[in-house]
Structure 1
Amino acid sequence: MPISMPKSLSALRERPYQLLWTARSISALGNALIPVTVVFAILRSGGSALDVGTVLTCHAVGQVAMLPVGGVWADRLSRKLVLMATDAIQAVCYGLLAVMIFLHQAAVWQFAVTYTIAGMAMAFFTPASRAVLPELIGSEHLQPANALLGLTDSTTKVLGPALAALLLAVSSPGTAILVNAVSFLLSFVLVSRMHLHRQAQRSEKQHFFADLRDGWQAVAERRWYLANLLCWGVWNFAIAFFFVLGPVVMQDGHGGATAWSVIMITGSVGSIVGGLAALHYRPRRPLVVTNAAAMLGILPLALLAPPAPLFVIALGVAVAFVMTSLVGEVLATTQQQLFPEEILARVSSLDWMISLIAMPAGYAAAAPVAHFLGMRTTLLVAAAVIGTPCLLLNLSPGVRSVQRLPDGTIGIVGEPETTTPAETAPLASTVPVPTETPGPSTP
């Protein structure tokens, strides 16, 4: 007798999605080894802290700079082929880097070049992986499909550093980097076997910048949606203050590194719980609910300001991270259903670009602002910056007009606050967004 599958796992019944989910799970676990491994690989190769910062910056800049390009080409080409190409490029990059480490020939500039190219490949992968989902499964399975992918990412972020530490203890950094290269190779093989149920309609070929303009104009014409993206950019900017100033507060007589580790672990557990919740929870007004839930991001910052007892801070962080994971998957599904499939990758690339710029900017601003205003005031101001835009945004008629329809899909009900052609045009015929909004981000 066949075993029935829970509705929350219904997306896994679809063979193409099974292959994508398995490929993403393998490559995500391999890639989760890299943040820890690359740092120690650079240091063991004779590099300095400045070298580490330079390499990490190169990766981030390469990704942000190429996101608009990646969005355009993921809408122009087969998204399956884009995913295969990004897997192949990253497998080669990390494979070459591992070989150089094994041969003791790795220099800082080689780390910078290979890590930059890998970041550029991610800029193509991220919008393509979001936009390909409607081509794999039916609209009724899109939120569980997003939630399963988000849950995988959250879980690998917990397991990856632990596995990296184990590999570094028993071998060289080259081993962990080689494992990552193999993970992308396996992902390439799985994606190559993925047969799309249908191919999304492609726009007529035109100049690259015209394609780029059309995608971003679709967002700009829905002013309430653009305001929502910018609101989440502000959210990511402000939450970065928590990650920079939190360890400083803990170090100042409140438990030090051990206390901060406890807080981070509870946050990771919260992310997993939020991913599980996203398998089931389908709010009637997605943007209203996500903006209201986003105000829980106040908790980590506000609780650090006194600071509260460790267990209270940890509980607040766990609650906030539950929200972060849940909101990210709801927003991803909403984005996939509000925009036509032929421009979805470009819309996703703008979403991710705002998030990727906002959080590093917050990292850079946190310490100078704290030095000028003081630690407690800075944390409280950052908490207000998180909560206020989210609260005000829910007053927008356009945000409230986004609702779940009787058939379970998401559409615009009634008249949004503007009546531009993009807003009055029909939505995508098939519907399936962040973590790459992606909505809120976590490092």
Structure 2
Amino acid sequence: MPLPKSLSTLRERPYRLLWTARSISAMGNALIPVTVVFAILRSGGGAPDVGTVLTCHAVGQVVMLPVGGVWADRLSRKQVLMATDAIQAVCHGLLAAMIFLHQAAVWQFAVTYTIAGMAMAFFTPASRAVLPELVGPEQLQPANALLGLTDSTTKVLGPALAALLLAVSSPGTAILVNAISFLLSFVLVSRMHLHRQVQRSEKQHFFADLRDGWQVVARRRWYLANLLCWGVWNFAIAFFFVLGPVVMEDGHGGATAWSVIMITGSAGSIVGGLAALRYRPRRPLVTTNAAAVLGILPLALLAPPAPLFAIALGVAAAFLMTSLVGEVLATTQQQLFPEEILARVSSLDWMISLIAMPAGYAAAAPVAQFLGTRTTLLVAAAVIGTPCLLLNLLPGVRSVQRFPDGTIGIAGERQTAAPLPEATSILPRTTSTETPGSPGR
């Protein structure tokens, strides 16, 4: 039976191997957020220790993202993905062994998750940058969408499977399953033959490569503006995740109501991933920036607060939007920038997002204490909506469009992510009217 057009990328064996590998490792990784908390607590740690371990993971990832972006552009991205899978498999395998032997200590969790975060800093830009080497430009969005849909689905199923494993066994079992998932991913990726190799730029000093990658973004000021606006979006939406449980606990349904909201949001993410398989807007940045305004709904509905069903529907709409927008923007990024610098561009994108959301988590409670919860939520809603709408006034944002052949570029230039003509410089030629964006995470 022939596959639907939206799933046609699965006919490509290299992409099919990558998708299978990512699906397996994503499911294994989805066990960890629930498991690691109980593993630390059962090993004699407390809430501060849990916070320390999670912070180590985040810091390891943020600090190493620029390094990961450079090396994912310097080396074969397939080899980078294999290396990160191997590191994760070893780290989690050793940690599982320590738990089974009752020798696990908090510092071991901290070291493991610092290294895991550093490995993710190499994996993330390489994983996005490798796609143009596997499928054609017209297939990039469904290829991104399938991977995003898998991530959304595993985030729903993972906690339930983790709870089941914790009920019948120790946390070490779930961590061992995660290690095995990375080992299987390693094997699958090793069998992945790229359709073509990216022509690398001549190697320079590490900091010269880092500078060149980021200068590409800085030269396209419209693109940098889009990245920063989505960073603001991530900062503001973090207020919802911090203050939402507080509002629900204050006589509006408590943990049960909050669970309903989160489940509905997860369902919205899955629907958004399905929509991204087929929906291809003619003006990707104008459309995604306009859609970003839906992020207002969770914050604005929580402020009164509205009835539970209204908040849940608002969250579902916002999560649907972020899932759909994320895949459209990833595809746009992959085609607007030369493939030889794509990992560095992606690393900057992820770094801004990863810094913005923890900053929002940290700021939410103090701001709410100063302004009041209702006012804080309404201010955060305004912060989400306004910058993205203003971005669409920039000529460069409006100039990015999808051409009849399905590729994305700048109107009047027909520029895609092909290698640049001059080998002496990787900086793109820009005009004074350029502009694109970065997905909300």
The letter for the 2-side match of 1:156 is: T
Name which of 238, 241, 251 aligns with 2:239: 241
Equivalent position of 2:325 in the other structure: 327
Q: Offset at 1:309?
A: 0.1
- Tell me if the contact between 2:216 and 2:427 (Cα under 8 Å) persists in the aligned partners: no
Equivalent position of 1:98 in the other structure: 96
Q: Offset at 1:421?
A: 6.7
Question: Distance between the aligned counterparts of 1:306 and 1:81, measured in 2?
Answer: 51
- Tell me if the contact between 2:220 and 2:430 (Cα under 8 Å) persists in the aligned partners: no
Question: Distance between the aligned counterparts of 2:428 and 2:96, measured in 1?
Answer: 48
The letter for the 2-side match of 1:188 is: F
Q: Offset at 1:438?
A: 5.3
Aligned-residue sequence identity (percent) comes to 90
- Tell me if the contact between 1:30 and 1:180 (Cα under 8 Å) persists in the aligned partners: yes
The letter for the 1-side match of 2:11 is: R
- Structure 1: state its 5+ residue gaps: 426-432
Structure 1 residue ranges (4+ consecutive) displaced by more than 3 angstroms after TM superposition: none
Q: Kindly tell me: are residues 214 and 175 of structure 1, through their superposed partners in 2, closer, same or farther at Cα, counting changes over 3 Å?
A: same
Q: Calculate the TM-score normalised by the size of structure 2.
A: 0.95
Equivalent position of 1:440 in the other structure: 440
Equivalent position of 1:356 in the other structure: 354
Q: Offset at 1:415?
A: 8.2
- Structure 2: state its 5+ residue gaps: 415-425
Deviation digits for residues 101-140 of structure 1, max 9, x if unmatched?
0000000000000110011000000000000001011111
Q: Offset at 1:65?
A: 0.3
Please say if 1:176 is aligned against 2:182: no
- Tell me if the contact between 2:134 and 2:194 (Cα under 8 Å) persists in the aligned partners: yes
Question: Distance between the aligned counterparts of 1:333 and 1:103, measured in 2?
Answer: 46
- Tell me if the contact between 2:144 and 2:331 (Cα under 8 Å) persists in the aligned partners: yes
Equivalent position of 1:76 in the other structure: 74
Please say if 1:383 is aligned against 2:406: no
Name which of 105, 110, 113 aligns with 2:111: 113
Please say if 1:312 is aligned against 2:316: no
- Tell me if the contact between 1:222 and 1:423 (Cα under 8 Å) persists in the aligned partners: no
Equivalent position of 2:262 in the other structure: 264
Equivalent position of 1:37 in the other structure: 35
The letter for the 2-side match of 1:71 is: G
Deviation digits for residues 222-247 of structure 1, max 9, x if unmatched?
10000000000000000000000000
Please say if 1:14 is aligned against 2:12: yes
Equivalent position of 1:155 in the other structure: 153
Structural mapping, 1:134-149, within 5 Å: 134-149=132-147
Name which of 287, 295, 298 aligns with 1:297: 295
Indicate the SS of the match to 1:422: coil
Question: Distance between the aligned counterparts of 2:245 and 2:338, measured in 1?
Answer: 43
The letter for the 1-side match of 2:204 is: Q
Please say if 1:251 is aligned against 2:249: yes
Name which of 124, 129, 132 aligns with 1:131: 129
Question: Distance between the aligned counterparts of 1:354 and 1:336, measured in 2?
Answer: 18
Q: Offset at 1:96?
A: 0.3
Indicate the SS of the match to 1:403: strand
Q: Kindly tell me: are residues 412 and 311 of structure 1, through their superposed partners in 2, closer, same or farther at Cα, counting changes over 3 Å?
A: same
Question: Distance between the aligned counterparts of 2:136 and 2:64, measured in 1?
Answer: 30
- Tell me if the contact between 1:294 and 1:323 (Cα under 8 Å) persists in the aligned partners: yes
Equivalent position of 1:202 in the other structure: 200
Equivalent position of 1:422 in the other structure: 428
CA RMSD of aligned residues (A): 1.4
Equivalent position of 1:344 in the other structure: 342
- Tell me if the contact between 1:398 and 1:415 (Cα under 8 Å) persists in the aligned partners: no
Equivalent position of 1:428 in the other structure: none
Q: Calculate the TM-score normalised by the size of structure 1.
A: 0.95
- Tell me if the contact between 1:80 and 1:191 (Cα under 8 Å) persists in the aligned partners: yes
Name which of 197, 210, 213 aligns with 1:212: 210
Deviation digits for residues 242-268 of structure 1, max 9, x if unmatched?
000000000000000000000000000
- Tell me if the contact between 2:40 and 2:106 (Cα under 8 Å) persists in the aligned partners: yes
Deviation digits for residues 257-289 of structure 1, max 9, x if unmatched?
000000000000000000000000000000000
Give the number of equivalent residue pairs: 426
Equivalent position of 1:410 in the other structure: 408
Q: Offset at 1:334?
A: 0.1
- Tell me if the contact between 2:25 and 2:178 (Cα under 8 Å) persists in the aligned partners: yes
Equivalent position of 2:423 in the other structure: none
